Amino acid sequence: MVAGALLAFIVVSLYAAFAFGFGLIKLAQENVRADQILVERMETLRAYNWSKISGGSYIPTNFVVGFSGTNGAWRGVLYTGTVAVAPPPTNESYTNSLRQVTVTLPSTSDAPRTRSMTTFVSQYGVATYKP
């Protein structure tokens, strides 16, 4: 009877440990995918010229990306993000040639969380800055 109770306790403990471990792995995978999506959205800014970034209508403000996809079908967690392009929070003379881009990505999985990345885009770039 004692051995049966001990065996039951060990089995329940192992199940809880495995469930916790797999939950952590799932959360880590979702975090990595969220970071990949944020970086991907930020990297697309490199392809846009100044008129597309400052115009306000070329860059889509909302997007939906899945955790993984095959043959055009998304599976798993869906990430619905937003892209905001705004003037920078400063009153300097170069404000008209600078934009602040923020990509926000809330997660809708078991552990709700929000990630965001912010960068500044200059009209003339870093190497060819014209005051």
Q: What pLDDT digit, counting tens, does each position of 56-104 carry?
A: 778 888 988 877 656 666 667 778 899 999 888 888 777 788 889 999 9
The β-bridge partners of 105 are 115
- Alpha-carbon span 68 to 95, nearest angstrom: 39
Which residue did the predictor score with more confidence, 107 or 117? 117
Phi, psi (rounded to 5 degrees) for 66: -90, 170
Question: In total, how many domains does the chain have?
Answer: 1
Residue 40 inside a domain? The answer is yes
Give the residue with greater pLDDT, 68 vs 1: 1
Assigned domain for 131 exists: no
Helix (H) and strand (E) counts for the chain? 2, 4
3-state secondary structure of 31: helix
d(CA 117, CA 105): 9
Q: Which residues contact 35 (CB under 8 A, 6 or more apart)?
A: 115
The residues, any chain, with a CB within 8 Å of residue 42's CB and separated by 6 or more, are: 101, 103, 117, 119
Portion of the chain with pLDDT greater than 90, in percent: 25
Q: What pTM value is reported for the model?
A: 0.74
Is residue 11 included in any domain, yes or no? yes
84 within a domain of the structure (yes/no):
yes
- Domain limits at 18? 2-122
